[in-house]
Amino acid sequence: MTSKQSILSRPSIEALVSELDVLIRARYPLIAVNTFEELRFRRVMQAVAQLERHVAKGLFLWTRTQGLRQIGGPDLGAGDRVFPGLEDPLSILEHIAQAERGLFLLADYGEYLCPFGQPDPQLVRTLRELAWTIKTRAVTVLFIGPSFPDIPTLEKEVKRIDLDLPDEAEVGSLLDVQLRQLGENPDIRLAVDDETREHLIQALLGLTETEVENALAKAAITFRGISPDAIPLILDEKRNVIRQSGALTYCHPEPADSLGGYTNLRKLLQEAAVTFTPAARSYGVEPMKGLLLVGLPGTGKDLIKKIAASLLGRPLLDLDFGAVMGEGGGVIGSAATSIRRALSIATTLKGLLGISEFEKAVGGLQSSDRSDGGETARTIATLLNWMQEQQDVFVLATANDVRQLAPEQLRQGRFNQVVFVDLPTPDDRADIFRVHLRKRGRDPEVFNLEELASAADGFSGAEIEGAVKGGLLDAFMDGGREVTTSDVVRRVRSIRPTSEVKREDIEELRRWAKDHLAIDAVRGPAEGAGRLMEF
């Protein structure tokens, strides 16, 4: 058994082979496989084509550059069997329409169906007729590529599946293969015990097969071997890969003591962390899906995401939904492909997915049909359906104006709870002053925290931080003397807080939170309210 074949024996790949076997036997004529890993999927299809019930069909690959070739099955000699004159996207469909059997892989074909973002009427019609023609034959067409366009005309003819990123077991197999190959080089030093191997697997999760191989090769060249020293480099490579996806940012967690106040919210996050432990799962406790944090800007909602990553011990991936929609660039299906890729990374990493300004991310459903042919609606539906079905990722979304959200976007199954992050109480304000003074190397006990908290009535956490920064600057410009309580108070009095500017908005948000039984980040559930929201 070759190294690549051993990877195909992993449970996740075996499940995909089984799924494809069922779809082919059930006579699904057209299957679109969303993946950046064409070579990996071709190996999967080689395994499918070797199954007894498909071995006589033959496996064929079409590309625009090389035309049609047979790459597996009967009547195949030492090399690929080439069919000349079939490089044109239309001619290959006409050829398949005449076939009595075969598994046909068409690479990057979606681009020809939707040139310049608009469906090609002739190709689309030909493809529909092809689906009807081969439905009764032993012929299946599989489209391979990063995206397959959402064309309403083909919605009932094309079955879509995703090739998931390598899971923990497959990454482990890939790592073992690479370590064996590196071990044959006398100039490479390997120092990988069981603990290091586990850390390497976790560092490599979220990468494609090729990216795993590249990251390990870079580490081996940089350190002349693989050892615990390679882990930070691999993590940096992963951060770069995730950043290049355009939709995700790999963020560093913040220690829990970076958050001042909000006692009840801390308890909720600690409770969430417990639900993901193996002991809780074996006991029958279901992991929490996530929280929606509602409150005015500056109340620390984005910082809370980083704190949560620290408490849950999970990597924080921030989703930029605006970038997702921007990547579409008018190409049908591109935005939905981008969000699927981002969600696949988050699922593989079993991370914490942060979504800022959730109300903007899922807005635009009503106008989508008129403004972009339904592209926004399809992308939002992909996100919401994933939130409903997934079990391994903790979602922490934030919203400044929850009034823009429809009830179905808040319901149970997507979020466990909605948490209202109100302006901090006096005790919270004192705690926030304590955090920001300590963060800047000052002993909080030297300051009159009670006076500071009283002066900052109605301030958000961001405004308190601004007052501390301003007081520090004033003291520095006054001869570099030590900052005092009076310096900070003076800065507090120079700031007009958001609570004065948006008084009506705050009161309306508080009414909304009360009406919808949102959990208070400071005080906990209102008296008589259940732990979970009801809509």
pLDDT in tens, 485-518: 999 999 999 999 888 888 888 888 888 887 777 7
Following CA atoms 240, 242, 243, 244 in sequence, which dihedral angle do they give, to the nearest 10 degrees? Answer: 90
Distance CA 340, CA 355 (A): 15
Give the chain's radius of gyration (CA, Å).
Answer: 28
Question: How are beta strands 248-251 and 316-319 bridged, if at all?
Answer: antiparallel
Question: 3-state DSSP call for residue 27?
Answer: coil
Distance CA 316, CA 396 (A): 10
289 close to 413: Cβ distance less than 8 angstroms: yes
Lowest-pLDDT choice from 29-43, 76-90, 460-474: 76-90
Count CB atoms within 10 A of the CB of residue 466.
18
**Cα–Cα separations (whole angstroms), residue 481 to 321, 473, 474, 490, 493:** 46, 10, 9, 16, 21
Cα dihedral sign, 40-45-50-51: positive
The percent of residues in the chain predicted with pLDDT above 70, rounded, is 89
Q: Which residues contact 528 (CB under 8 A, 6 or more apart)?
A: none
Question: pLDDT tens across 138-193, in order?
Answer: 999 999 998 888 888 998 999 999 888 888 888 999 999 999 999 999 889 999 99
Lowest-pLDDT choice from 83-87, 229-233, 328-332, 400-404: 328-332
Distance CA 73, CA 55 (A): 6
Distance CA 251, CA 22 (A): 40
Of the pLDDT bands very low, low, confident and very high (cuts 50, 70, 90), residue 100 is very high
101 close to 77: Cβ distance less than 8 angstroms: no
331 close to 264: Cβ distance less than 8 angstroms: no
- Asked whether residue 326 carries a pLDDT value surpassing 90, the answer given is no
Distance CA 183, CA 189 (A): 8
Lowest-pLDDT choice from 119-123, 284-288, 295-299, 472-476: 295-299
Distance CA 144, CA 60 (A): 12
